[in-house]
Amino acid sequence: MNKQPIDTVLIKQALRGDQAAYKSLYELYKQRLFVICLRYAKERNIAQDYLQESFISIFKNLNQFDPNKGSFEPWAKRIAINTCLMDIRKQSLYAIGLNGAEHIESNEVGVLSELSLKEMLALIQQLPLGYRTIFNMYVIDGYTHKEIAGNLNISISTSKSQLMKARHLLQKKIITQQQTFNQEHG
């Protein structure tokens, strides 16, 4: 007997109007999607708003999910990312006139690998909005610079420049954090 994943069963029940299935889907994915929203938001309350808007969109478009094209989680994550990006776009903070492309290393294994998830999330949240958004999209969510540029209505060179600046700022923050720790415990 071919057993269906729990989310597929819940989706079918939700589409038939079962409110408990909607609640179960929410409970099953709220934490994973909230972490994504936290990465894009500067504050927890904004991340909670993003999460709420994400689930509204997920449930509104649930009938468009096709389990034959992939699993539910990546589909839901993409909606959460797009929800965050829509709000960021509304803020119109990408009017940055930067000239020329700057070199960006493609290997993102760096100083962040030493941090706990909680520490990394806190540092990412401290980045300015443009840096934070592009860092999340490129490093964590796997977008290309071309995709980022298209989604945010910026140039590819601006995307690359913002990523480089985000990485440098994160490195400075990590060094400062390590120095503070060493002073307190050294």
Cα atoms in the 13 Å half-sphere on the side-chain side of 161: 13
The confidence band for 144, taking pLDDT boundaries of 50, 70 and 90, is: very high
The percentage of residues in the chain with a pLDDT greater than 70, rounded to a whole number, is 83
Per-residue model confidence (pLDDT) at position 102: 32
Per-residue model confidence (pLDDT) at position 91: 65
> And the tokens for 159?
């995307």
Phi, psi for residue 93 in degrees, rounded to 5: -100, 20
CATH 1.10.10.10 assigned to domain 111-185? The reply is yes
Residue 101 has pLDDT above 70, yes or no: no
Pick the CATH number of 6-90 from 1.10.1740.10, 3.40.630.180, 1.20.1440.230, 1.10.3720.10: 1.10.1740.10
For the four alpha carbons of 152, 156, 159 and 163, in that order, the dihedral sign comes to positive
Cα atoms in the 13 Å half-sphere on the side-chain side of 20: 1
Per-residue model confidence (pLDDT) at position 117: 67
The position carrying tokens 């993102």 is: 108
Mean pLDDT calculated for residue range 85-113: 46
Identical fold for domains 6-90 and 111-185, yes or no, is no
Q: Where is average pLDDT lowest: 68-82, 85-99, 140-154?
A: 85-99
CA–CA gap between residue 131 and residue 123 (Å, rounded): 12
Domain boundaries, the chain: 6-90, 111-185
Per-residue model confidence (pLDDT) at position 14: 94
Mean pLDDT calculated for residue range 84-113: 47
Q: Which residue has the higher pLDDT, 173 or 143?
A: 143
Mean pLDDT calculated for residue range 68-92: 87
